[in-house]
Amino acid sequence: MASSTSNNFSSSSRHELPNISTKLRVLEEKLQREGIEPVIPVNVNLTVGRSTRTRPRPGHISGGSCSPSRASSAPPTRKGTNFQLPLSPLSVQPYTSEDIRAKYLEVIKNSGLLYINEVQQRVDLKDLRHLCDLGHGSCGQVFKMEHIQTKYVLAVKVMHRTSSDEENKRIIMDVDVITKSYDCPYIIRCLGYFINTSDVWICMELMAYCFEKLLKLINQPIPESVLGKLTFTTVTALNYLKETHGVMHRDVKPSNILIDSNGNIKLCDFGICGVLIESMAKSRNAGCAGYMSPERIEPPDPTRPDYDIRADVWSLGITLIELGTNKYPYVDCKNEFDVMSRIVTEEPPELPTNSIQFSADFRSFIKLCLIKDYKQRPKYKQLMVSNEY
């Protein structure tokens, strides 16, 4: 669930393989029964485990404000938790040491306030019991924990505070974005957080798997119908971040897209979100090299190395190919430099031409995401009104 996530699978996880495969097939069959063909277009109302409606045909605009054919600046809202944090709006200026310290003082006021079973209450760290490790990465570790009194189970990301401004800025960004995104149903829900002198604990709803781990467990391609839902939820979440909070994710990859036992898919990990200044991000050294777009690795104009949300569109395209084929497209590379060299010098990857498991719409959508010239690559809203969406 973080950059360079490395999941350690227990023997019990491996015993879950048959159950996981069964659930995935059930999810695929349910989508098809509801009229969702195994192609990229999916309806905004498609939520497995909840009431759903059949999606309109590609290009058709359905009635109502929830039409997927209209690029909305924000997705349908959910009954979420507005923490009403005393955080100031995201600044268009880079954080300074004083900014970071000031924000810590602001957010610490709500430290320890958690929503357990939809009820906000004051919770102490000793009230949580560790159940198992879920994963770890460069920004910290994620644990499965239980609120002892209520038996409520949640996921907790623990990030260590350091003297590094860059690391502290990352922690602040993660807390800032996830707590402000309570009204987006396609972003992991924050239940509250703890801040002490050495750590920051972000408490979140528990999901079943990230797609990186799911792919390793089932060791087979993810069905296109499921990838259609993943595409809709991810693009909607990314568009929400841009339109509502003025940030781009910058780390779209399988380990940062989660699925729960009901088939709900959500985006997570906002530690390296970039604040957009005039719709452009400034920092180049953020994110996983294997999913970076060509313009981030080698800017067309070195004197202006800025990039925009279309870099995340490229990352989504690489993610879809990997999940749809059970194979990362840039294989046999010795190191990150080799990967980045191939991204810059080679033609964009494509789905296998000899496979009949992919629809024409799915192939076309991925080609849109992986247009090498970022000026020709569509942004979120263009994707959302395309016939392939």
Return the pLDDT at 270.
74
User: CA-to-CA distance for 116 and 151, rounded, in angstroms?
Assistant: 10
User: CA-to-CA distance for 236 and 230, rounded, in angstroms?
Assistant: 10
Tens-place pLDDT, residues 285-329:
556 888 998 998 888 776 665 778 899 999 999 999 999 999 999
Angle, vertex CA 324, rays to CA 281 and CA 210, nearest 5:
65
For a pLDDT cut of 90, what percent of the chain falls above it?
45
DSSP string, 5-62: -BPPPPHHHHHTHHHHHHHHHHHHHHHHHTT--SSS---TT--TTS---PPPPTT---
Domain segments of the chain as ranges: 11-75+208-384, 97-204
Active-site residue 251, yes or no? Answer: yes
Q: Give the neighbor-by-neighbor strand order of the sheet with 265-267.
A: 209-210, 257-259, 265-267
> Is residue 316 within a helix (H) or strand (E), and if so which, with residue range?
helix 310-325
Residue 351 has phi, psi (to 5 degrees) of: -70, 150
Residue 187: name the closest of 200, 174, 199 by CA. Answer: 174
- Helix-then-strand count for the chain, H and E: 11, 12
pLDDT of 45 over the 50 cut: no
Angle, vertex CA 347, rays to CA 389 and CA 334, nearest 5:
110
Residue 141 has phi, psi (to 5 degrees) of: -120, 155
Residue 287: name the closest of 262, 252, 260, 254 by CA. Answer: 252
pLDDT of 334 over the 90 cut: no
Kindly report the CATH number that applies to the domain delimited by 97-204: 3.30.200.20
pLDDT of 165 over the 90 cut: no
The residue ranking higher by pLDDT, 11 or 234, is 234
Please answer whether residues 132 and 10 qualify as being in contact, where contact means their C-beta atoms are separated by less than 8 angstroms: yes
Burial class (CB in 10 A: 0-12, 13-18, 19+), 341: middle
Return the pLDDT at 304.
67
Name which of 2-11, 73-82, 202-211, 273-282 the model is least confident about: 2-11
The residue ranking higher by pLDDT, 68 or 111, is 111
Among 174, 176, 251, 361, the one annotated catalytic: 251
Retrieve residue 134's tokens: 């879920």
Kindly report the CATH number that applies to the domain delimited by 11-75+208-384: 1.10.510.10
Name which of 20-29, 244-253, 258-267, 340-349 the model is least confident about: 20-29
